[in-house]
Structure 1
Amino acid sequence: MFWLALLISGLLSYLFLIKLPRRMSLLKKLARVNGPPSLPLLGNSLDLSVHKRDVLSVIGRFFNAYGPRFKMFVGLQPYVILANAADTEKILSSQSQIEKSSDYDSLQEWLGLGLLTSTGEKWFRRRKQLTPAFHFKILEDFLHVFNEQCSIFTKVLSKHLGEQPFDVFSVITLCTLDIICETAMGKRVSAQQKTDSEYVKAIYRISELVQYRQLRPWLHPELIWKLSPTGKETRESLKILHGFTDLVIKDRKLERIEMKKHTTGVDKSHEGSRKPQAFLDLLLDAQLTDPTLTDEHVREETDTFMFEGHDTTSAAVSWTTFLLALHPEHQQRVQSELDDIFIDNPERKVKMTDLPRMKYLECCIKEGLRLFPSAPFIGRKLRKDVELDDGVILPSGITVWIYFYFLHRDPNIFPDPEKFDPMRFTREENHGRHAFSYLPFSAGPRNCIGQKFAMMEEKVLLATIFRRFSLQAAERLEDVNVLCDVITRPENGLHITLKRRYV
């Protein structure tokens, strides 16, 4: 009895002398941040227990009621939601506030502690190792992959010619999957031709399962998740995905050993057929000098490239394609620009020198990303207090969500924010705009490492579509349900019709 009484006394002392004062201090600091009323223990969980197609409207309603900064509680955990440039700059420009929120934990089964999910010294070291992967010369090598896969993409699109609407989102997604597999791993999966591939099916399914768990708090505890049917299905998908990546790493190591034999020995016959480096090669190069970089770590980063370089790019290209299909005046201007660039040969491959000339197309991509940023929001777990410009203090320990979807719709920065207007991104219109008012690739130390790669790929894909085809939307934008998932995606695809521009 004595030990039980001592344990209870210690627990009560901890709660009342340490935990409760900390909680009261945190709530006092948050008192100046408005927000919707919350329930005891549940917080605002019931407000958020809606279908994922309704999440954006719920968050939008809160922004309308409380301004571009509000607080809410998910259970007992306090969140501050931001959609203004000044507050966003305070968080994202910080060198210390780099820890992702717990919302990313559900990705760790798949991606481990790679560049997206890690923090602290591990993140800094890995970021430094991976930055050379996006050097101009390496990106130039990837252009060959873009062109080759876009040649297949053109044939796939040609099958949809006519008045019958089809979902362009799913077609584009398969092309971007082919591109990222070859550039990240140096491996062809032929997703555009073999849609029944086990790996292709697994990569689609794992994204759905991650989102399924995120929206169901009762599945967050690890034990419950492992015992659930969806947890079991996740492990089966991961077995396929991790097994595929492990095999690619093993095969690539053997290839590199053979290549080294040919380049260091007498036989020089293979020198002219050097295989272009994939991201995986850079990691294997780093592994030679960094003994802490295990094969498991290499797999983490390779899988992270697969995740971040696939869905995000396909979403950006798909939304821009659909918006141009809705606005023939902007589509015609893009086509005129492409006709001028490819006047020598409309069917030739895209060259690096073509990309800077696609100025209006770039404006369209940027405007598409303004309206539908690939990542609708990001989360940060604050490790230090943050004082905002008006003196409000965001306390350490809370989670901050920055909603790019609403940040990009600030009418003070972007008048008539729902209108598709690529001219917003001309040099003249950009001048003087707050640097943190438009963040399709995030900003600060944890900005997207692959943004140049993404913009390059998006230009090549969109140039492939619009130099050859004219598009018409088969549905209105207001009839498209927008899902606030890991990426900003349409619930039921984006439907268009297609006709050839020239024979």
Structure 2
Amino acid sequence: MLLLLITGALVMLLVWDYGRRSLRLHFFERSKISGPVSIPILGNGLQALFFRPENYIQKFGDYFNKYGKTFRLWVLGECLVYTTDLKYFEAILSSGTLLKKAHLYRFLDDFLGDGILLSTGHKWTSRRKALAPAFHFKCLENFVEIMDRNSGIMVEKLKKVADGKTSVDLFKYVSLEALDVITETAMGIQVNAQSDPNCPYTKALKSVVYIESNRLASVSQRYDWLFPIAAPFVYRRLQRDIRLMQDFTDKVIRERRAILEQSKADGSYRPIIMGDEETGKKSKMALLDILLQATVDNKPLTNKDIREEVDVFIFAGDDTTTSGVSHALHVISRHPRVQKCIYEELVSVLGQDPDAPVTQAKLLELKYLDCVVKETMRLHPPVPILGRFLPKDLQVGDKVIPGNTSILLMPYYVYRDPEYFPDPLTFKPERWLNGKEASTVPFTYIPFSSGPKNCVGQKFANLQLKTLISKVIRHYELLPLGEDLKPTYTFILSSSSGNHVGLMPRKKVN
């Protein structure tokens, strides 16, 4: 009897699995979209057991070589389509309705809530509008001062390893510097991560990012219902660290709101009006201050609303900047001619004194460095994968992607396609000289995404990248020491071998 029940249950499970997949398989067959052989119930779950952050890039590259520009995977009941086909890039990124992130972003729900990264519809539109003043040039000018000061701290920290012989993994230095910048610009407070990397907030953030990144490659931790069962200690640590960070941010918000209310009570309050000269003079405001004064539908944002946006800003800004800067410095160390050109431009624009502060205007004059940043983000894009969820069938040309599917756009491989970028694996900043684009084909270069949901902070990011890179190169000659890069995907592009360089102090000119 028991055997009969088990057999019946298995048959029903197989029928249910076939039913939920058959229609989508039909669309895939008609559209000539194939992928690795899957099995009932598990799909490609067994293959996924061997996916690791350090082999994602290679595995997906192998699949593209085998199945063409678009392929599909099944992981249990989850359907995923991966593509480098620019027709899909245009259809999805240009859409004003396909704004929901792919399911892989669900790992960030507990931490980021419904902030601008994950929200859609009216909430997303209104929040993006509320955030816009933070990226006005007057605010950015103040942010550059914060970036410059913290980059100065980093070059001081590097002195003890700058002997021209030691291989230094810059990732950990850049990560702490980026966190100092992003927390001060987001919340107006200094966590001093570079001086105290064991600060509870710093440790909690790094722990959360590490755990959530590992969940990407873990079948047992991938699903919210299974995660607490399969890894209870990791799950509890994640919840504890998220709670610690949120409590910290909530406390800062309450204190700043109290100051704002007091200013309204005593008559010293002045609303933010970007472009106003007086506002410009006192624009040493953090993102949090701007959100405290923002309204949506004539109502102020709640503390929870503000915390969501602050958390998104910190999460997105810390890791992407770390990836961009550490990859750039590594690549520059391997190209002495490029480094020489950068240094000559820095001296020409910023002068001989390596400690002279930079300004937004001066950073914008660094045209060759801008080319180096663009070429770095082509070969080593901080965000190598963009994901959207398709609630309904999507027809592009004569092909249909079925609804209830996550589609992953893979710009990493587009940037390395000789069809769009001649000699694609060679680092050539000159591709971008004189303001020209290295490829004139739309959607071939989208380091900050594209369309309605492009990165709202891209000007901020470019300024931070150029500030830190320029500061390091003004103080040190970068040498090609240490291991080469081994690309790893953990929401952002990193290297499992680190980002190693040697550092030789430059001689100061009197």
TM over 0.5: yes
Query: Match for 1:372: what amino acid?
Result: H
Q: In structure 1, how many angstroms separate the alpha carbons of the residues matched to 2:72 and 2:225?
A: 30
- Are the aligned partners of 2:188 and 2:286 in contact in 1 as well (CA < 8 Å)? yes
Gaps of 5+ in 2: 1-7, 270-278
Which residue matches 1:3?
none
Say whether the 8 Å CA contact 1:47–1:58 is kept in structure 2: no
| 1:203, distance to aligned residue in structure 2 (A) | 0.8
Are positions 1:494 and 2:502 aligned together? no
Contact 2:82 2:410 (C-alpha < 8 Å) held by counterparts? yes
Q: 1:135 to 1:275 in 2, by over 3 A?
A: closer
Q: Which residue of structure 1 aligns with residue 372 of structure 2?
A: 364
Equivalence for 2:450: 443
Paired residues for 1:417-456 under 5 Å: 417-427=424-434, 430=437, 433-456=440-463
Alpha-carbon distance in structure 2 between the residues aligned to 1:220 and 1:387: 29
Alignment of 1:165-314 (within 5 A): 165-227=167-229, 228-260=232-264, 264=268, 274=282, 276-287=284-295, 290-291=298-299, 293-314=301-322
1 CA distance for matches of 2:461 and 2:332?
19
Question: Contact conserved, 2:169 with 2:500, CA < 8 A, in 1?
Answer: yes
Identity between Structure 1 and Structure 2 (%): 32
**CA pair 427-392 structure 1, distance change in 2 beyond 3 A:** farther
Show structure 1 runs of 4+ deviating over 6 A. Answer: 19-22
Quick check: 1:320–1:368 contact (8 Å CA) kept in 2? Answer: yes
Letter in 1 for 2:302: T
Q: Which amino acid aligns with 2:479?
A: Q
Letter in 2 for 1:320: A
Q: Give the match for residue 71 of structure 2.
A: 70
- For the pair 1:42 / 2:50, whether they are aligned, the reply is no
How big is the shift at 1:277?
Answer: 0.8
Take 1:130 and 1:99, find their aligned partners in 2: how far apart are those partners? 19
Report the Cα distance in structure 2 between the residues aligned to 1:285 and 1:156, rounded to whole angstroms.
Answer: 37
Would the aligned equivalents of 1:287 and 1:294 in 2 still touch at CA under 8 Å? no
User: Tell me, which stretches of 5 or more residues in structure 1 are unaligned?
Assistant: 1-7, 266-270
Of residues 329, 344, 347, the one that matches 1:336 is 344
Distance 1:429 1:253 in 2: 46
Which is further off, 493-502 or 46-55? 46-55
**2:496 is the alignment partner of 1:485:** no
CA–CA distance in structure 1, aligned partners of residues 121 and 461 of structure 2: 26
How many Å separate the matches in 1 of 2:339 and 2:85?
A: 31
Give 1:485 shift: 0.9
What are the superposed Cα offsets for residues 52-104 of structure 1, whole Å, 9 maximum, x if unpaired? 21111111001111222112222233221111323211111111111111111
CA RMSD of the aligned region, Å? 2.4
C-alpha distance 205-63 of structure 1, shift in aligned 2 (>3 A): same
Distance 1:356 1:282 in 2: 25
Amino acid in structure 1 at the alignment position of 2:422: P
Does 2:417 align with 1:410?
Answer: yes
Rounded to whole Å, the distance in 2 between the matches of 1:220 and 1:80 is 17
Q: Separation in 2 of the partners of 1:432 and 1:374?
A: 19
Aligned partners of 1:37 and 1:171: how far apart in 2?
Answer: 43
- Do residues 143 (structure 1) and 144 (structure 2) align? yes
User: How many Å separate the matches in 2 of 1:127 and 1:338?
Assistant: 35
Q: Which of the numbers 463, 466, 475 marks the counterpart of 2:470?
A: 463
Greater displacement, 172-181 / 405-414: 405-414
Secondary structure of the 2:58 match is helix
Counting only pairs closer than 5 Å after superposition, residues 92-131 of structure 1 correspond to structure 2 as: 92-131=93-132
Question: Does the 8 Å CA contact 2:201/2:248 hold for their aligned counterparts?
Answer: yes
Deviation per CA, 1:428-481: give whole Å up to 9, x if none.
75276112001111111111110010001111111101122100121353xx32
Residue 47 of structure 1: CA displacement? 2.4
Q: TM-score, normalised by structure 1?
A: 0.90
Work out whether residues 414 and 420 of structure 2, in 8 Å CA contact, stay in contact via their aligned partners in 1: no
One-letter amino acid matched to 1:96: T
CA contact (8 A) 2:155 2:472 kept: yes
After TM superposition, the structure 1 stretch with the greater mean CA deviation from structure 2, 409-418 or 43-52, is: 43-52
Secondary structure at 2:54 match in 1: helix
Structure 1 residues 76 and 196, CA gap change in structure 2 (3 angstroms): closer
Aligned partners of 1:85 and 1:434 also within 8 Å: no
**Cα distance between partner residues in 2 of 1:147 and 1:378:** 31
How far the C-alpha of 1:345 sits from its partner, in A, is: 4.3
CA separation of 1:96/1:289 partners in 2, compared to 1, >3 Å: closer, same or farther?
closer
Match of 1:5 in 2: none
Equivalent residue, structure 1, for 2:391? 383
Rounded to whole Å, the distance in 1 between the matches of 2:301 and 2:259 is 20
Which secondary structure does the structure 1 equivalent of 2:72 belong to? strand
1:325 aligns to what? Answer: 333
Residue identity in the other structure for 1:383: P
Q: Does the residue aligned with 1:489 lie in a helix, a strand or coil?
A: strand
Structure 2: which amino acid aligns with 1:29?
F
Query: CA offsets per residue over residues 10-35 of structure 1, 9 Å max, x none?
Result: xx9xx88xx97774332221112132
Alignment partners' CA distance in 1, 2:202 and 2:236:
19
Q: Deviations over 1:383-422 (max 9, x none)?
A: 2332224x11112221101112112111101122221111
SS class of match (1:79): strand
Change (3 A) 1:133 1:275: closer
Residue 149 of structure 2 corresponds to residue 157 of structure 1: no
